[in-house]
């Protein structure tokens, strides 16, 4: 399916997880919306965009399992988490419980606002490799105290590429009277998502990653019971709107000033594209490639998988633990010498080489990566520590 994408054919692209990649039909639709905006920007922004955004919310709400009045389009999950963290009804001494496997930008957001309100951001240590979901859950709740007010957790982690048992965590959190906030940046279009079953109070997902939308297209879901305390990052015409809709939540968060709505408006095309191409089957094939290659990469660099090799912990990404003193140099070397686009993430002092598999990838791409790593290891370059 390489011909469906605009990616440079000279690059072995194994980094779909960072920013996704937009198929040609979806990108054309994106450009069409941009042209529509430029033909009559006043009418488009003031009138038409409101109607079109409602259609987007209806289609996306059906896809992720929530009501169209309970989600709003945002540019990225970091924007969504900033909205929540800035609005959170902190009291001095409150605690937000998370794991030490979270995305760095979100960690920084929570740390900033917790410090501002004299609250604490508790990064509960999770032992790697994971043994089972049950042990993860047990270890996570060791960070709970009487001061815990909310939990924040990734459904799929960024650096380690692991699928975490957020449904079970949300169920337990509800019993403890906690607000549940889930970062699902990597989830829509990657693994099944039904917000009505997940039962999270707050959820954010990216549409420009595995849903393959244009860059800058994501959503923020807030359960109706929690919408009253969530303020918009930008106060604009939506506040005390001259033309209020049925939802104050939508008015406040959707109408935040002039912006290009084209990426948002392309989301229904993304959903339609997946349906027409039977993308669920494509994803299953990709996941098989991910799992089939995991063990041999770990063995090559003398490391162990971060969790049992099965589809309950892994989707279309796999992070190889690599013992390197120079992760940035390793990533740069793989790109400049071997023309391989792949991230090397650093978290808690550990480095992870994370490959993503999407429809345009094949076994050949991973063979190229394997050969490159084999050469780096065999030549004894100072990219891996001695003996690793």
* Among the listed residues 78, 110, 81, the one whose alpha carbon sits nearest the alpha carbon of residue 94: 110
| Rounded Cα distance, 355 and 342, in Å | 6
| Rounded Cα distance, 90 and 83, in Å | 14
On the question of pLDDT at 386 being above 70, the answer is no
Host domain of residue 164: 25-273
- Residue 374 within a domain: yes
- Length in residues, the chain: 388
User: For 223-268, what is each residue's pLDDT tens digit?
Assistant: 999 999 999 999 999 999 998 999 999 999 999 889 999 999 999 9
In this structure, are residues 353 and 318 in contact, taking their beta carbons and an 8 Å threshold? no
| Rounded Cα distance, 31 and 37, in Å | 10
- For the chain, what is the domain count? 2
User: For 166-176, what is each residue's pLDDT tens digit?
Assistant: 999 999 999 99
Cis, peptide link before residue 129, omega less than 30° from 0 = yes
Q: Which of 273, 301, 323 is the last residue of a domain?
A: 273
- Residue 385 within a domain: no
DSSP string, 23-68: BHHHHHHHHHHHHHHHHSHHHIIIIIHHHHHHHHHHHHHHHHTS-G
Q: Which of 273, 300, 334 is the last residue of a domain?
A: 273
Please check whether residues 341 and 236 belong to one and the same domain: no
Please check whether residues 36 and 128 belong to one and the same domain: yes
Domain of 214, CATH number, reads 3.40.640.10
Find the mean pLDDT for residues 112-140.
98
* Among the listed residues 185, 191, 225, 227, the one whose alpha carbon sits nearest the alpha carbon of residue 203: 185
In this structure, are residues 161 and 183 in contact, taking their beta carbons and an 8 Å threshold? no
Please check whether residues 7 and 117 belong to one and the same domain: no
Please check whether residues 212 and 308 belong to one and the same domain: no
Task: Work out the percent of the chain whose per-residue pLDDT is above 90.
Answer: 94
Phi-psi region of 30 (alpha: psi -120 to 50; beta: other; left: phi over 0): alpha
């Amino acid at each position: 399916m390489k011909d469906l994408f605009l990616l440079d054919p000279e690059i072995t692209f194994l980094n779909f997880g960072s920013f996704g990649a937009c198929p040609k039909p979806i990108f054309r639709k994106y450009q069409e919306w941009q042209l529509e905006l430029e033909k009559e920007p006043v009418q488009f922004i003031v009138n038409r965009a409101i109607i079109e955004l409602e259609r987007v919310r209806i289609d996306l709400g059906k896809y992720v399992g929530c009501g169209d009045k309970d989600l709003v389009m945002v540019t990225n999950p970091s924007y969504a988490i900033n909205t929540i963290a800035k609005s959170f009804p902190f009291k001095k001494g409150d605690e937000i419980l998370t794991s030490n496997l979270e995305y760095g930008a979100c960690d920084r957001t929570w740390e900033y606002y917790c410090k501002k309100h004299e609250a604490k951001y508790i990064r509960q240590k999770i032992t790697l490799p994971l043994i089972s979901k049950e042990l993860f859950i047990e270890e996570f709740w060791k960070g709970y105290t009487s001061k815990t007010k909310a939990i924040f957790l990734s459904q799929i982690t960024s650096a380690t590429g692991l699928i975490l048992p957020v449904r079970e965590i949300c169920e337990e959190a509800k019993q403890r009277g906690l607000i549940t906030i889930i970062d699902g940046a990597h989830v829509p279009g990657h693994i099944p998502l039904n917000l009505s079953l997940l039962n999270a109070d707050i959820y954010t997902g990216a549409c420009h990653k595995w849903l393959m939308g244009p860059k800058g297209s994501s959503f923020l879901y807030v359960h109706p019971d929690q919408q009253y305390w969530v303020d918009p990052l930008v106060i604009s015409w939506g506040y005390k709107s001259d033309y209020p809709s049925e939802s104050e939540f939508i008015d406040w968060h959707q109408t935040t000033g002039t912006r290009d709505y084209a990426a948002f408006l392309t989301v229904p095309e993304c959903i339609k594209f997946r349906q027409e191409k039977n993308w669920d089957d494509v994803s299953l094939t990709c996941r098989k490639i991910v799992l089939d290659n995991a063990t041999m990469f770990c063995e090559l660099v003398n490391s162990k998988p971060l969790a049992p090799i099965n589809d309950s912990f892994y989707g279309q990404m796999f992070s190889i633990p690599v013992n390197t003193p120079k992760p940035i140099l390793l990533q740069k070397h793989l790109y400049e010498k071997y023309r391989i686009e792949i991230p090397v993430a650093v978290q808690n002092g550990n480095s992870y080489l994370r490959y993503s598999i999407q429809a345009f990838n094949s076994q050949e791409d991973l063979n190229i990566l394997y050969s490159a790593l084999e050469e780096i290891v065999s030549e004894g370059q100072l990219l891996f520590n001695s003996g690793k």
